Structure 1
Amino acid sequence: MTTAPPEQQARPTLAHRQIMLLMGGLMTGMLLAALDQTIVGTALPTIVGDLGGLDHYSWVVTAYLLASTASTPLYGKISDLYGRRPVLLFAIATFLAGSLLAGLSQNMTELIATRALQGIGAGGLMTLAFTIVSDVVAPRERARYQGLFGAVFGISSVAGPLVGGYFAENDWRWIFYINVPLAIFALYVCGRVLRLVPHTRREHRVDYLGATLMVAGCSALLLALSWGGNEYAWDSATIIGLFAGFAVLAALFVIVENRADEPILPLRLFKRATFSLANVSTFILGFAMFGSIIYVPLYLQIVKGATPTRSGLLMLPMMAGVIVTSIVAGRVISKLGRYKWFPVAGTVIMGTGLLLFTSLQVNTPLWQAFIYMTVIGVGLGLAMQPLILAVQNSLELRDMGAGTSAATFFRSLGGSVGVAALGAVMNNQLAKQMHGAAGGVSINAPAQVRALPPAQLQMVEHIFVNALHPVFMSAAVVALVGTLITVALPNKALQGAAPAPADGEEAAAEMEAKVGAF
């Protein structure tokens, strides 16, 4: 049975001014979620020093990661059933409450619990931003708007460590309090503009069993990846049991989803080549991106002696590459009406940048590292948003929420797997080279490393740089696999063009009159 393409179904018409206002709210919400993935890590040693509870250190990050990744697919389907506006407002309000409570935390237990609450909200902020744009903008015009989302990721990758370092040196609680005014702004703007986007309620049945299995399975996998090689050995009973539990839960999830009337993740979507290949590519991109570039600030701090705040500033070339390329690529895709060769070029360029990083040495000048960062940033900017666009272009409007959340989920999952896998490569290399060589110095404590005597410091710097090379090489190989998969993407045209400005303004004016002018 064939279904109508997205543009043959009802799509609300908003004026460009209203779309840009909505984009402001959505980008603010996305920035909140993206920043919280990077901002806390920089200040975590300071937070732990204030609250105590060093044995719960990793849970501050793990709780957020678990909650955000596991909840992402749920938001898509629930918003398909109940409408985008109430679900998005719930996600923003949840993130707002979690941020406020995290700033008020008096011990590590409270902080971990409120970080999980933040994560529940963040899962919706990410996926619903892409989904809502797909509701109100035709695919061909959508590219230039979604290019702005790529700029948000670029900003967060640099601003997170920078802002986190600043507040760590002053008052770490403002890491969370700064979210409050931004979340209130996002609540107001999205709440007002989304009144213009109608939702047709239909009879439905919520797949509670599928949702439970998905959350439980994701939690088991992410715990295994987070704990493996850190809290427990990879071959320990705990890690093996978690992986086994994930396998069983995943099998049960597939069985349940095939029988559900309203599946949380419609498995029929994976029968479409574009949807499946784009999601696999998104997973690989997340693996190579999150699993490798987290080591660049560590290189700047350990080898170049940069403070956490300064290392954030030194990442500006990568941010510039992502921002400029995302915006330009979005506009070009809108004009051409096709997207395939952008992620192909992006994965090639990103892989090239990762290969360049394998040549890093202790005495590599910063300007040379800046070039490598820019190359990676350009690759990310070319690949990230077009893959989301490819997924959405293969969907009907009724599946837009579930399908878009799947793409966001696979990118986050790829990042989690990449961090674990490349972290294992890094730790294995360090274990081999530092065996009895550095007097028990922790390579993860840059300040401690920089305080070593000159001769010992030089030795540790060389060991660390040599251990980085296989990490970037592994990520480059993964990026190359991503290139092969994106080449296999069908070269389909984006469906539909934006309506003429006059028509759009007239239709929007009629709708705006119903809810009041901004």
Structure 2
Amino acid sequence: MSTTSNCEAQSGPAHRIWRFWLIFLALCVSLFLTALDLASVGTALPSIVYDLNGTDSFVWVSSAYTLACTAVLPTSGQLADLFGRRAVLLVAILLFCAGSAVAGSAGSMAMLIAGRTVQGVGSGAIQVLVAIVIADLIPLKDRGFFQALTGAWCNCTANVLEMAFLYVSEYATTGVNIKRDRRGVIDSRCADLNLPLCGIAFGIVFLFLRLRKPPVQSYVASVKSMDWIGNVIIIGSATSCIIALTWAGVTFPWSSAQVLAPLIVGIAGLALALLYDAFVAPFPVIPVAIIKNRTSIAGYVGSFFHYLVLNSVVFYLPAYFQSSKLAPPLLSGLYLLPTALCISPSATLQGIIVSRTGKYRLIVSPRIKHSIAGRHRSWAAMLVGMGLMTLLDADSPIAVTIPIQIIAGVGFGLVYATIFTVMAPLEPVHNASALSFLLFVRTLSSAWAIPISATILQNALRTRLPAAFLATIAPGHDLAYNAIPAISALPEPLQREVRDAFAASFRLVWRVMLGFCGAGLLSVALQEHVPLHTKMDERWGLEEESHAEAGTSQSGGEMCEKDEPRERPCPMDAGA
């Protein structure tokens, strides 16, 4: 770190250290809320639908959450700039708490969907505010480790909780005492756990998240400064896209007007929002500065393909184990652990490497430095992993899938460094807008992942499954999940034919994902290496820092430099 940073850090108050870590703890607890929710609801969904008689609207339990979470992401960044990080994060936690209470006590599908919608709003805002507060407290060059640490925290807790809930769910199905009441075991318990966790997170944020902020205009003026037109266009367009993706292949065919019309309107609306914010809006929710350089654009594109492939693999690889390997749900979740457990360590390693070297293009090899793969080994690992995955068939031993998943999982974790590709060319004043837009791109990509993979899988199965087996499956668009429970009871050789058909269909899905990995790798060609700066947005930061930055060093008597006015010390450096 520069002389300026060291000098300022030494003059900072000692209690800044423990306040920083308490704030970081509050951010991790807030993220834990979203991880707990994502892990539990998917596991409990079948029995929730059974208990509430919601077979016609079950898809909206997850879609309403995704829709609300996605739509609110860009708006949250602008709200954080106008009203302050602390106030918006506190409101987000309260919204998540209220949504959890409604969903946990729901007596009907309508009430459950309403609660999930409110939860989605709170979850989206929490994710954005956590990223923004980390950016306010830690300079980009030192941010890699902490960014990876929060991601690893989320992934690890989500993986452990998902396995725990899946175990309880299976025990509830087969156990003597619990029987069918899985919703009472899982869903209400999650609501009971969410509420005190929300209280803990709210209390820590309220007490310790004391950030400086720019001179505050009146609330009326702040409301008027909102990019209302841009926000309405973005929220409406995101809603239109996600509704289309929710219906696609489940309620209506992809080629139907009910899917194509809202999808086209949504994509056109997002393009219109970008044009409006670039040329018309006085205070745009998506400033043109965050999308006008090719390196940041490459980062957004890479993030889109990263999350598209990652979510497809995590969602459908267990289905491969259940269909082609006849693994029960709990065992299929265990078989996925090599992927899940490699993502967090590799993401953390990536953060440490970036913090130590400042090279976010990930370990350049002098011998192949001019090749794209050499400049970005993470995409190469994803390509190799997905390429090997296309070779899996019904006879592939489980032991063979482990190293394949490890390679892919390492690649998935390392590609999280695209956040540095986005942020490096931008001034810190754009932290909130850039981070909220990046999360918007990632979440929208996740919404695309499942429908695209589902369509490929469904079409492949219809041409590969034996006619005798297809005749026994209930009509509907969700062919794969209707068929999987029946495979284990089939006689030979029909069972073998069905297992082979599923394996061949999944290979087609992996080939398409391999193509998306290639597209992500090509996005690296657009990147220029921009050094990671140590500047921070001087409008924000811990409140007490304002007194430390004007003084001289108390150790050595050396005067702090004044030629870098936007640079502030990282709070955790105060005791260095």
Deviation at 1:248, TM superposition (A): 4.4
Deviation at 1:31, TM superposition (A): 3.1
Q: CA RMSD in A?
A: 2.8
Amino acid at match of 2:464: Q
1:387 aligns to 2:397 (yes or no)? no
1:264 aligns to 2:264 (yes or no)? no
Residue 373 of structure 1 aligns with which residue? 405
Q: Which moved more, 1:11-20 or 1:354-363?
A: 11-20
CA deviation string 1:193-219 (max 9, x = no partner)? 311454543565111111111100011
Deviation at 1:241, TM superposition (A): 1.7
Deviation at 1:479, TM superposition (A): 0.8
Residue 150 of structure 1 aligns with which residue? 151
- Distance between the aligned counterparts of 1:23 and 1:64, measured in 2? 26
1:191 aligns to 2:192 (yes or no)? no
Residue 172 of structure 1, aligned match among 168, 186, 192: 186
Where do 1:317-396 residues align within 5 Å?
A: 317-341=338-362, 344-384=376-416, 386-396=417-427
Percent identity between the two aligned chains:
27
Q: Which moved more, 1:268-277 or 1:120-129?
A: 268-277
Query: Are the aligned partners of 2:308 and 2:445 in contact in 1 as well (CA < 8 Å)?
Result: yes
- Distance between the aligned counterparts of 1:38 and 1:68, measured in 2? 16
Amino acid at match of 1:127: V
Amino acid at match of 2:480: I
Q: Which moved more, 1:78-87 or 1:449-458?
A: 449-458
- Distance between the aligned counterparts of 1:252 and 1:148, measured in 2? 36
Residue 207 of structure 1, aligned match among 204, 227, 230: 227
- Distance between the aligned counterparts of 1:447 and 1:226, measured in 2? 23
1:226 aligns to 2:263 (yes or no)? no
Query: Judging changes above 3 Å, is the alpha-carbon distance between structure 1 residues 17 and 353 closer, same or farther for their aligned structure 2 residues?
Result: farther
Query: Are the aligned partners of 1:157 and 1:319 in contact in 2 as well (CA < 8 Å)?
Result: no
Residue 246 of structure 1 aligns with which residue? 266
CA deviation string 1:377-433 (max 9, x = no partner)? 11111111x212332333333321111011111111112222222221111101111
Residue 132 of structure 1 aligns with which residue? 133
CA deviation string 1:239-271 (max 9, x = no partner)? 122123224433542343221111111123211
Residue 516 of structure 1 aligns with which residue? none
1:278 aligns to 2:292 (yes or no)? no
- Distance between the aligned counterparts of 2:122 and 2:528, measured in 1? 34
SS at 1:55 equivalent: coil
Query: Judging changes above 3 Å, is the alpha-carbon distance between structure 1 residues 391 and 19 closer, same or farther for their aligned structure 2 residues?
Result: farther
CA deviation string 1:43-102 (max 9, x = no partner)? 211111111120111111111111111111111111011111111111111111111211
CA deviation string 1:156-204 (max 9, x = no partner)? 5533532332343341322443322332222222333311454543565
Query: Are the aligned partners of 1:150 and 1:381 in contact in 2 as well (CA < 8 Å)?
Result: no
Query: Judging changes above 3 Å, is the alpha-carbon distance between structure 1 residues 167 and 177 closer, same or farther for their aligned structure 2 residues?
Result: farther
Residue 445 of structure 2 aligns with which residue? 414
Query: Judging changes above 3 Å, is the alpha-carbon distance between structure 1 residues 149 and 245 closer, same or farther for their aligned structure 2 residues?
Result: same
Deviation at 1:460, TM superposition (A): 1.9
Residue 297 of structure 1, aligned match among 304, 315, 318: 318
SS at 2:216 equivalent: coil
Query: Are the aligned partners of 1:64 and 1:118 in contact in 2 as well (CA < 8 Å)?
Result: yes
- Distance between the aligned counterparts of 2:254 and 2:463, measured in 1? 17
Where do 1:302-317 residues align within 5 Å?
A: 302-317=323-338
Residue 487 of structure 2 aligns with which residue? 449
Structure 1 unmatched ranges of 5 or more: 1-6, 499-503, 512-518
Query: Judging changes above 3 Å, is the alpha-carbon distance between structure 1 residues 362 and 247 closer, same or farther for their aligned structure 2 residues?
Result: closer
Deviation at 1:38, TM superposition (A): 4.4
Query: Judging changes above 3 Å, is the alpha-carbon distance between structure 1 residues 381 and 16 closer, same or farther for their aligned structure 2 residues?
Result: farther
Residue 404 of structure 1 aligns with which residue? 435
* TM-score with structure 2 setting the length: 0.80
Where do 1:18-29 residues align within 5 Å?
A: 18-29=19-30
SS at 1:172 equivalent: helix
1:464 aligns to 2:488 (yes or no)? no
Amino acid at match of 2:203: Y
- Distance between the aligned counterparts of 2:238 and 2:76, measured in 1? 15
Where do 1:47-196 residues align within 5 Å?
A: 47-155=48-156, 158-159=159-160, 161-168=162-169, 169=172, 170=182, 171-173=185-187, 174-196=189-211
- Distance between the aligned counterparts of 1:58 and 1:201, measured in 2? 43
- Distance between the aligned counterparts of 1:22 and 1:363, measured in 2? 50
- Distance between the aligned counterparts of 2:339 and 2:333, measured in 1? 10
Query: Are the aligned partners of 2:73 and 2:439 in contact in 1 as well (CA < 8 Å)?
Result: yes
- Distance between the aligned counterparts of 2:387 and 2:192, measured in 1? 39
Query: Judging changes above 3 Å, is the alpha-carbon distance between structure 1 residues 452 and 396 closer, same or farther for their aligned structure 2 residues?
Result: same
